[in-house]
Amino acid sequence: MKIDFLCSDPTHPVNERLKAWIAAHIGTHDCALRRRKAELAGGDILFLVSCTEIIDQPVRDLYGHALVLHASDLPAGRGWSPHIWAILEGAGVITISILDAEDRVDTGAVWAKERRTVPKHALYDEINAVLFDAELALMDRAIEMIQSGQHPVAQSERTASYWPRRRPEDSEVDPEKSIRKLFDAIRVADPDRYPAFFRLNGHVYTIALKKVSKNDSDPD
């Protein structure tokens, strides 16, 4: 099959996983990683992964299927960075969906879902590893479903909910709160692109977490 991936940001951490997936499937599929929709020439499947451009119907029609990966249990959690918002609300399990791309954000029919546990101790890179593993598994499942003639299931609008787009200022934390209370907000922040930060004594400070050992005295 001819498969294109569209990932707008070359610095996004998912890129290395996409490149590894393409390398592993080089003998089975004709794959390419694209950065702009102007580079899309058509094929069997278009995977939209962390894509910031609007991919309208004429572009989607160049492909047999245009699919989006989204980290929520759709139709709940439409919108942006849903797994981040969910973890900030205390979720220990996240659901990742793969669905048809549509003009209205995250409203397409759903092909498959994966549920994954996110440990309470997991930091940003470890959370990404859980997410990306699920996304790669969903891409494989979607390909198998398409090849076997299966079809996706339409979403219900009755239970739909939306998350807002996260902004750099959403990574700000309150220096008056304890580390325990701030831990989730710090651990979900991208340390390179959107690091957690706080304001104190007339200056702005960023925070970097690094796991160095296991604390056997703390079961959490």
Mapped to the 3 state alphabet, what secondary structure does 102-164 carry?
CCCCCCCCEEEEEEEECCCCCCHHHHHHHHHHHHHHHHHHHHHHHHCCCCCECCCCCCCCEEC
The pTM of this model reads: 0.91
Residue type, position 210, single letter = K
Written as six digits, the tokens of 184 are: 């989730």
Q: How many CB atoms lie within 10 A of CB 169?
A: 8
Residues carrying CATH 3.40.50.170, the chain: 2-163
Output the CA–CA distances (angstroms, integers) from residue 117 to 11, 124, 133, in the order listed.
Answer: 26, 14, 12
Q: How far apart are CA 68 and CA 51, in angstroms?
A: 9
Q: How far apart are CA 83 and CA 96, in angstroms?
A: 9
**Helix 14-24 / helix 124-147 crossing angle, nearest 10 deg:** 40
Counted residue by residue, the chain has a size of 220
* pLDDT in 10s for each residue of the chain, 220 residues: 999 999 999 989 999 999 999 999 999 999 999 999 999 999 999 999 988 898 999 999 999 999 999 999 999 999 999 999 999 999 999 999 999 999 999 999 999 999 999 999 999 999 999 999 999 999 999 999 999 999 999 999 999 999 998 999 999 999 999 999 999 999 999 998 889 999 999 999 999 999 998 776 665 5
Strands 78-79 and 93-100: unpaired
Q: Please, what CATH class does the domain formed by 2-163 belong to?
A: alpha beta
Query: Residue 144 phi/psi, 5° resolution?
Result: -60, -40
